Each structure stands twice: as C-alpha cells, then as structure tokens.
Copies of this chain bind each other. A is one copy, B any other.
C-alpha cells in the first residue's frame, strides 16, 4: 500500500516537504534550501511526528552543507555548526531530532578536515540513510504489529503516527496499514487531537486516501466509546521513550492509556528504536514543550477564547510504562516494557 503523497524527500538539491499546516484543504509542498527554513518548518509544524522531524533535521543539515559546499573551511564549519544549533532548538520533546543530529554530527566528525564539498556529499548520504532506515523500520514494525491486530478490530488512535509522521508507512498507522494489507478488516476511530487537530486534519485524511475506514471523534468521546465496548485496542506513536519504558507522546495520550487500562483494552505504542532515549531514566525527566496561546484560542480566522484569558498548552504528556501493554519496534515487540527489556532490545549493557 503506497500513499499518494510524500512527507519528505530530497529533490534537485533541496528538501521537499508536504506542508502539513495546510492539510486537508491543500496538498502543497515546501522547497527548502537552507537549515533555517527547515528549522522553521519543524517549529511551525509544517512537518511533525518524531521520525519525520528526525529525517527533516538530517536533511536540514545536508541542505545547509550543500549550500555552503563552495565556502572556505572556516566559514563552512562555523555556519554548519550554527545550523546544528538552529535545528536542535526547533522542538524539544521528540528525541529523534537529537538522535538524527547526533548521527549527522558523527559523520561530520569522521572527516572534518575533508573539503566542504566532500563533507556535504557524505552528510547527504547519511540523511538518505536515515530516511531509508525509517521507512524500513516502519515496514518491519507494521509486520510485527499486524500480528497483534485481530480481524474486525476497532482501533482507536490519537494524533497522527502515520506516513505523514515518518518517512513513509507510519508507526501506529503503519501497523494498521500492514494489518489491512494482510487482509484483516479494521475500523479506525481517530481522535481529532486538540489543539492542532492532527487526528482530524492528518490521520482522517491519510486513512481516507488509503481507503481504510475511519471515523473522527472529539478526544473527549474516547472514554464513552470504550465504556460502550466499541474499542478493541488503542495504538499510538511516541515522541520519546525513557529507559524505564515511560512514553512521552502527544498530549491526551496518557488519559487514553488510563481509560484503556480501566476497560481492559490493550494499549500499544509503535515507535522505532530511534525514539528510545535510554539516557533519561524516567518520563518525568523528559522535557515537555509548551506551545502558544493561539493554538488553543481559535483556528484560522475564527477565535473563540475570550481576550485576556491565559492558556495552558502542553504539547505532550507522559504515559507510565505500567500502562503500556506492548511497545512495537523494528527490533521486536516488547510486552510490559521496563528497564531490563528495553536494554535487551537495544543491546546495550
């Protein structure tokens, strides 16, 4: 199953990305030729989803290096170092961003005395590798996760953990796609996901493109659906998983996990290994981004919040590991994730 859009790609020496701020009304692409443009695209949610912003950061470095490939080494180095900072400062919670920048920095470090044009080529190859590995990881997660999806499953998901959130196929939606491709009937319930409405604007649209049945609901209605026995499983993505298995994901994920536990409904998290951050002990140490008032106060030309009323707008919350039925990664499915099983998964001592 191939989606009829491309979240991010390298085309003719620039970064091409689908402008997700304009979906579903317009399918428009951005063409970016420097790191500042890519950082701005990440910050303003033109591209979002932990794996996708990892790819975007990598290409942000690559496109900046290409732009500077004719510069003197000192200029090249100083400007490229600044690009890393810009990209690292674009969003704080999803660890894939820092993971990708770490890989790019390591590639730069291995041949820092080579000519800028050589370094630029090497960085582009690494960005290509990050993208290709993400697609492969999503396909593998899809295959592994599809085994957890019963036929006729009614599946609740939150935010968008689809092809739009990755280099392709998707994490949570990748599992659903793979289950559907394997011939299982599925019906998806998509939380609209306030305040930025990624569920309504992106997940509903993405599944509609694929012909997978999807029903949109306000986030507040998920508990009622579960109480009426109309959900068989919940599956979401992740922005960062701590060493103990705690999961930071889109705000509203934690309440779903609590509700799923109350109703005995499996709660699955699908994410690539690049989302694991074993350097952070527990979820309470994961930085939680707080975003602007305007996301909550209205939409487009409409404003509904009274002037002068302050807004609390955290973009993520933390789901304790105890509420996660299984973590689905490209290296395997980990039931009841904890410190030991996650260390074993990534092969660290």
Contact = CB atoms under 8 A, between A and B. Distances in A.
Given A304-B197, A304-B299, A216 B309 contact: yes
Interface stretch (A9-17, A75-83, A178-186, A218-226): A218-226
Interface stretch (A103-111, A143-151, A166-174, A198-206): A198-206
Contacts of A208: 306, 308-309
A4 to B, nearest CB: 13
Total copies of this chain within the assembly: 2
A254 B223 contact: yes
Contact of A258 (B201, B223, B306, B309): B223
A72 interface: no
Contact of A217 (B220, B258, B312): B312
A249 to B, nearest CB: 11
Contacts of A288: 224
Interface SS majority for chain A: mixed
A134 interface: no
A313 B218 contact: yes
A343 interface: no
A220 B194 contact: yes
A300 B24 CA distance: 17
B220 A251 contact: yes
Interface string A307-343: 0111111100110000000000000000000000000
How big is the A interface, by class?
35 or more
A214 interface: yes
Nearest to A193: B220
Nearest to A315: B221
16 contacts: A194-B194, A197-B304, A200-B297, A200-B304, A215-B309, A215-B310, A216-B305, A218-B251, A220-B250, A220-B251, A220-B255, A221-B252, A223-B317, A227-B318, A300-B301, A301-B301
Interface of A: 24-25, 189, 192-195, 197, 200-201, 204-205, 208, 214-225, 227, 250-252, 254-255, 258-259, 262, 288, 296-306, 308-314, 317-318
